[in-house]
Chain A
Amino acid sequence: MPWVARLRYSPFPIVALASLLVLLIAGVAIAVLNEQSLRLQTAREAGAQADLLASAVSGALAFDDAEAAQDYVNAVQINPSVLTAAVYDENGRMVASFVRDGETVFHTAASGERATMFDDGHLLVARPVEEAGQRLGAVQLKLLETPRAQRFSRYAGLLLVLGLAALVVVVLAVAQGALRRANRQLADRAAELVRANALLQQQMVEREKAEEALRQSQKMEAIGRLTGGIAHDFNNLLMVASSGIELLDRTDDPKRRKTLSAGIRQAVERGAALTRQLLAFARRSPLKAEVLDLRGHIEGLRFLLERSLREDIEVVMDLSADLWPVEADRGELELALLNLAVNARDAMPQGGTLTVSGCNIPGDDETPDRVCLKIADTGAGMSAVVASRVFEPFFTTKEVGRGTGLGLSQVYGFVRSSGGDISVESREGVGTTFTLCLPRSSRTPAGAGLVTPAAAEEPRAKRKATGRLLLVEDDDAVAAGVGHMLGDLGYRHVRVANAAEALALLEKDPRFDLVFSDMVMPGEMDGLGLAQEVRRRMPAVPVLLTTGFSEAASAATGEAFRLLLKPYGIDGLSEALAATLSERTA
């Protein structure tokens, strides 16, 4: 119904209007009724007085006693509101009268009829004088009616109350209207807000995705910039390994052979450690703040830092042993340090020293405790103008193709998101120092930093083991190498090239003590799938998986399979196999 809607949304509510109207009508009605009843009463009183006078003067009129008539008329004077009183005889002539100052009286009666008249604040009452039906004359009284001002003042209170009530109603109505309008606006605004919020949420999600992609590309860029140094390093390692192998072939001296094989093993282990770190570094992972022991962490990173810099750059670590823990994302911290190191390397084309130092800065009332890292180089330095812009994204002084300008902006973003500060000091020709300050964490680090490379491992005494293994490996070279190692350790083995072959063989000949499988293989089923299938079909046969891919590795550990990371040495293989087999027997 449209009128209901109109009622609901009219600015001056109809209900208020109606009540106002009712109030007014009631007020006026009360006043009019009051006035009328008052007049009636006045008229009644005056009539009674006139009747009294008329009956009193009847004798005097009948027998022409004007004095007696005057006495009765004078008695009426007592009533102060009587202005004039007159008694007329049968012929209308005035017999007796009483007139107050300023009033006039008719000397002849207009008529002998009963009459009551209101006239401009006066009340005229006429009564015939009769006795037992004989008409003897008439009396007339003129009374002062209640003056207008007095009458008005009687209603002034009522008017005031009415006015106040009207005011209240109007104010209420206006307030209600305003409230209703405000509510409507509020609802509109809330709807707008909801829309804006939804948009914002969407933008936030997109921005997160973009930031994720940026971080990954920053990492990849850093790796790209490291590649030169790492390739060089690998060349050196390969040089050591290949020359070692050649020399091995040429000599039969056991002592010399031992030295050579140790050198080769060391080179291979260094290469393995390097690739492991690179893979761990490149892994996609969400940002996660954890409590870090900076000293252990940076020392663990030293190996990668040294590899990514050139030989003519000396890396000096000066980290005090009691550095406070901080809370930050592990990968971002590593990336930041690598970015700074690569930056320093590029600033020192003629070589120099990269100093990584760290110290605790106790806070005061205003600033919290902080841990500050200084990465200083002895390179070309920067001008003040360049120094003021180094943290801007895409700002670079390098020629096209050598840097994207994202490195230092990553460092800046990392420090800020960790609640810290970064500053740069640079003097041209002397060097540049970046200072990263991170707030101290009140918690203690969960564990040691990076996995320390297995460089320190001593070759163990060879133990003879027994068992029949199924080796699943697609690469013939690797399979051959591993096959030699297995034979050396005392295991017998059958090699197949993929998961399907492995399952087919197991179907025919299930008598294997262990399945040793590569994870990433061609074919419909990969190593993890095979392992799950074997576990399902033959729960008694344990599975050892191996891979060089970090992502595959995390998948395997997620499925609770024992894992051996490539590259591995014969000792690592021996231990892993022994542990896996012991699991079966246990």
Chain B
Amino acid sequence: MIQGRASILVLLALLWSLPLHVAAAPRPAQTSLEYSVKANYLVRFAAFVEWPAQSFATSQSPVVICVVGRDPFNGALDRAVRGQTAHGRALAVRRPDTAEAAAGCHILYVGRGGGGMVRDGQRPVLRVTDGNVSSDRGMIHFVIDDDRVRFHIDLQAASRSRLSISSRLLNLALSVRGG
């Protein structure tokens, strides 16, 4: 058990050290690091956002992170999800290709070409958009600011979808709309 935890810590340490120490690395590597950070952030969002209870089938149902459109993570998201929990639930990654298939998502990352598939609506889905992909903003919109991955938050849209976002997350946003 201790052995296991130690190995995870070593792994995470390796992963985490990358963006700080290799900030000035060449572009492709930076892109990969950028998405690795974004993948981590997607996992963290699960902890700072609360979904209404009816959005889960059972109390054991996982928090589902969906990627629509082109997946830029190159497996980083699957690695980040591994072993993590939020609100006592496991995390799962799906890549639905239809709007119907995206019905069970809780966090939805909109990749390139996935913009038209899902809109903000009545369903309690945290739609995350990326400034690298389009200027269309979801509830959370990733941007690169001062060489760091930051985000804007649209609290109005989140409230409409009956999501509550922790104030600690709001504090870190570059801007909060409707706050």
Contacts and interface: CB of A to CB of B under 8 A. Distances in A.
Contact of A62 (B9, B16, B47): B47
Given A60-B172, A62-B48, A65-B172, A132 B16 contact: no
B172 A91 contact: no
10 contacts: A60-B172, A63-B44, A64-B19, A68-B171, A90-B16, A92-B13, A132-B86, A133-B88, A134-B46, A136-B47
B82 interface: no
A91 B13 CA distance: 5
The contact size tier of chain A is 10 to 19
Q: Tell me which of A63, A65, A90, A91 has the highest count of chain B C-beta atoms within 10 A of its own C-beta.
A: A63
Contacts of A60: 168, 171-172
Contacts, number: 64
B74 interface: no
Contacts of B171: 59-60, 68
A60 B19 CA distance: 16
A56 to B, nearest CB: 7
Q: Is the interface of A mostly helix, strand, loop or mixed?
A: mixed
A65 B37 CA distance: 13
Contact of B12 (A68, A91, A131, A132): A91
Contacts of B48: 59, 62, 131-132
B102 to A, nearest CB: 23
A62 B87 contact: no
Interface string A38-64: 000000000000000001101110111
Given A59-B169, A92-B13, A134-B86, 15 more contacts: A55-B168, A59-B166, A60-B171, A62-B41, A63-B41, A63-B151, A63-B172, A64-B148, A89-B16, A90-B12, A91-B12, A132-B85, A133-B86, A133-B88, A136-B44
Nearest to A131: B47
A62 B84 CA distance: 13
Q: Tell me which of B48, B85, B86 has the highest count of chain A C-beta atoms within 10 A of its own C-beta.
A: B48
Q: Is the interface of B mostly helix, strand, loop or mixed?
A: helix
Contacts of B13: 91-92
A134 B12 contact: no
Interface in B85-112: 85-88
Given A59-B172, A89-B16, A91-B9, A133 B87 contact: yes
A131 B16 CA distance: 18
Contacts of B12: 90-91
Interface string A88-107: 01111000000000000000
Contacts of A92: 9, 13
B28 to A, nearest CB: 22
Q: Tell me which of A58, A65, A132 has the highest count of chain B C-beta atoms within 10 A of its own C-beta.
A: A132
Interface string B28-48: 000000000100010110111
Contacts of A89: 16
Contacts of B168: 55-56, 58-60, 62, 131
Q: Tell me which of B9, B43, B86, B172 has the highest count of chain A C-beta atoms within 10 A of its own C-beta.
A: B172
Interface residues of B, number: 25
Contacts of A63: 41, 44, 151, 169, 172
Q: Tell me which of A55, A56, A68, A91 has the highest count of chain B C-beta atoms within 10 A of its own C-beta.
A: A91
A59 B41 CA distance: 11
Contacts of B166: 59, 131
Nearest to B148: A64
B84 A134 contact: yes
A68 B172 contact: yes
Pairs A-B, 7 closest by C-beta atoms: A59-B168, A132-B47, A131-B47, A91-B13, A62-B44, A134-B47, A133-B85
A131 B169 CA distance: 11
B3 to A, nearest CB: 15
Interface in B109-151: 148, 151
Interface string B43-55: 1101110000000
A68 B172 CA distance: 8
A290 B80 CA distance: 139
Contacts of A132: 46-48, 85-87
Nearest to B87: A132
Nearest to A57: B168
A234 to B, nearest CB: 149
A134 B172 contact: no
Interface string B142-167: 00000010010000000000000010
A91 B16 contact: yes
Nearest to A67: B172
A133 B47 contact: yes
A89 B13 CA distance: 10
B166 to A, nearest CB: 7
A409 to B, nearest CB: 123
B157 to A, nearest CB: 20
B136 to A, nearest CB: 22
A216 to B, nearest CB: 125
Contacts of B148: 64
Contacts of B86: 132-134
A55 B166 CA distance: 11
A368 to B, nearest CB: 119
A67 to B, nearest CB: 10
Contacts of A58: 168
Contacts of A136: 44, 47
Nearest to B10: A91
A360 to B, nearest CB: 130
B114 to A, nearest CB: 23
Contacts of A62: 41, 44, 47-48, 168-169
A60 B171 CA distance: 9
A56 B171 CA distance: 10
A65 B171 CA distance: 10
Contacts of B41: 62-63
Interface string B1-29: 00000000100110011010000000000
B16 A134 contact: no
